[in-house]
Structure 1
Amino acid sequence: MIPVITIDGPTASGKGTVASRVAAALGFDYLDSGALYRLSAYKALKENADLGNEEVLGELAGALAPRFESGRIFLDDEDVTDKIRAEEVGVAASKVAALPKVRAALLDVQKRARREPGLVADGRDMGSVIFPDAPLKVFLTASAQARAQRRFNQLKEKGIVANIDTLTRDLEERDRRDMQRPVCPLAPAKDAKILDSSELTIEATVAQVLQWYRELTR
């Protein structure tokens, strides 16, 4: 069976960075499932679609044909790598991800990403729903304060002004929404390894995931 490592966790927990580095270290493919929801939200916002209209949003998600090339993401030949990381898109993505028809539309896209020699997938339900048979499931978390500080630093590096208290409140609200949604709420898989990175560097976090995987494959 094609091996899969799933890395789930809340917004701004660093799961994308960790997953991509783990994939590179192992020579595996990388799936940023969150990007699919952000792409759906970006498309909806761009077309002024009603974020409460599940039917329309499901159709938009099902029609997505993104390209992932050299670390960049393209949608309709537009480089949207940075655009889909905007806070407005992130908030909309959290709402869109709660809609069953959107999740159903993107389900097959995610499952098809499982290819030789292996896959590292990050998201919110990769281990609990999409790849329940993954040999290693990681739930990467960190305090809202630690995540807000990381997001603040990232925005500052890009020259974007932000307020850390506002970022913290937004993250806490998104956590509540993600954990309380009726469909696939944010929660670790029953057999997931919990990794709190509040006090860890990215390098240390990656090293821990690689250690767990290598212990399984010895």
Structure 2
Amino acid sequence: MGARNPVITIDGPAGAGKSTVARRLAERLGYRLVATGKMYRAVAFGILRDRVPQQEGPALRAYLAPLAIRVADGSVWLNGEDVTAAVQTQEVAQATSDLTTLRAVREKVTPLQRREAAAGGVVLEGRDTGTVVCPDAEVKFFLTASLPARARRRHAELLAQGIARPLAAVREELRARDAQDTTRALAPLRKAPDAIELDTSELTEDEVVERMLAEVERKCSTGR
């Protein structure tokens, strides 16, 4: 793979465990973590706060053009402002789902993500990192899990944030998000042909991370 450390991508649907294992994998390897979803959330937060039209058009493109978005160590900055906590609301999450279907938003954020990955030694986590953002990444993972397992995880995350929602409602929200992510015209959620698929339904976080580390070592040693 040459002297440069590899680019590792981790894609998959909501609730598959991407965020946690991506962070832990990056820590174990000493790589930078780029949580691509937080970049989109930062854009959504800015658009909501500044009341920018949430549709394709000159106003949206003019707003996006000067935006500076940066992610590092689990935090995200918008024009130099730390918005890590602000982007975690349900309102921002819903707006993010809608805005990621817009070409103007994708054309703004995707080049920023590629720039983050250019030097290698990075773990990118999202939904299109191995198919659109870094299709030439040296190591690609696609994490999945059953809908019930993902719903339980998401439900637990919400409870930890003090948000009480019925498990059935969380499951239906995930089902709707899956449909939106897999059928959108721009950068739909799909497994890259050369991605390693891991079903995390019955695996612990430790087991997932160890399997990923083994695959990274194998890829780096064999180049395939």
Aligned to 1:151: 154
1:183 counterpart (183, 186, 198): 186
Task: Please tell me the residue identity of whatever aligns with 2:161.
Answer: K
Cα deviation, residue 32, structure 1: 0.8
For structure 1, the 5+ residue unaligned runs are none
SS at match of 2:123: strand
> Any gaps of 5 or more consecutive residues in structure 2?
none
- 2:68 is equivalent to residue 65 of structure 1: yes
Give the structure 1 partner of residue 210 of structure 2. 207
The alignment of Structure 1 onto Structure 2 pairs a total of residues equal to: 218
Instruction: Name the counterpart of 1:98.
Output: 101
**Alignment check: 8 A CA contact 2:52 2:63 kept:** no
After superposition, the Cα gap between the structure-2 partners of 1:213 and 1:163, relative to the gap in structure 1 and judged at 3 Å, is same
Q: For the residues of structure 2 that align with 1:76 and 1:118, how far apart are their CA atoms?
A: 25
Give the aligned residue type for 2:200: S
Other-structure match for 2:140: 137
Displacement of 1:56 in angstroms is: 3.4
Pairing 1:107-122 to 2, within 5 Å after superposition: 107-116=110-119, 118-122=121-125
Q: Is the 1:29–1:115 Cα contact (8 Å) retained in structure 2?
A: no
Cα shift at 1:55: 4.0
2:43 to 35, 40, 43: 40
Q: Secondary structure at the match of 1:139?
A: strand
Within 1, Cα distance between the matches of 2:99 and 2:74? 24
87-96 vs 186-195, greater mean Cα deviation? 87-96
Question: For 2:153 and 2:79, how far apart are their aligned partners in 1?
Answer: 31
User: Which sits farther off after the overlay, 194-203 or 52-61?
Assistant: 52-61
TM-fit CA distance, 1:70? 4.5
Give the Cα–Cα distance (whole angstroms) in 1 for the partners of residues 216 and 72 of structure 2. 26
Shift of 1:33: 0.8
Separation in 1 of the partners of 2:40 and 2:58?
15
**Alignment CA distance shift 1:150-1:109 (3 Å):** same
1:74-125 Cα deviation digits (max 9, x unpaired): 3345432132122221121111111112111112211111254511101111
Q: Which residue of 2 aligns with 1:79?
A: 82
* TM, length-normalised to structure 2: 0.89
Residue type of the alignment partner of 2:11: D
The residue type paired with residue 6 of structure 1 is T
Shift in alpha-carbon separation, 1:180–1:75, aligned structure 2, 3 A: same
**Alpha-carbon distance in structure 2 between the residues aligned to 1:188 and 1:170:** 21
1:27 to 25, 30, 54: 30
Q: Aligned residues: percent identity? A: 38
CA distance in 2, matches of 1:110, 1:50: 24
**SS of 2:117 mapped into structure 1:** coil
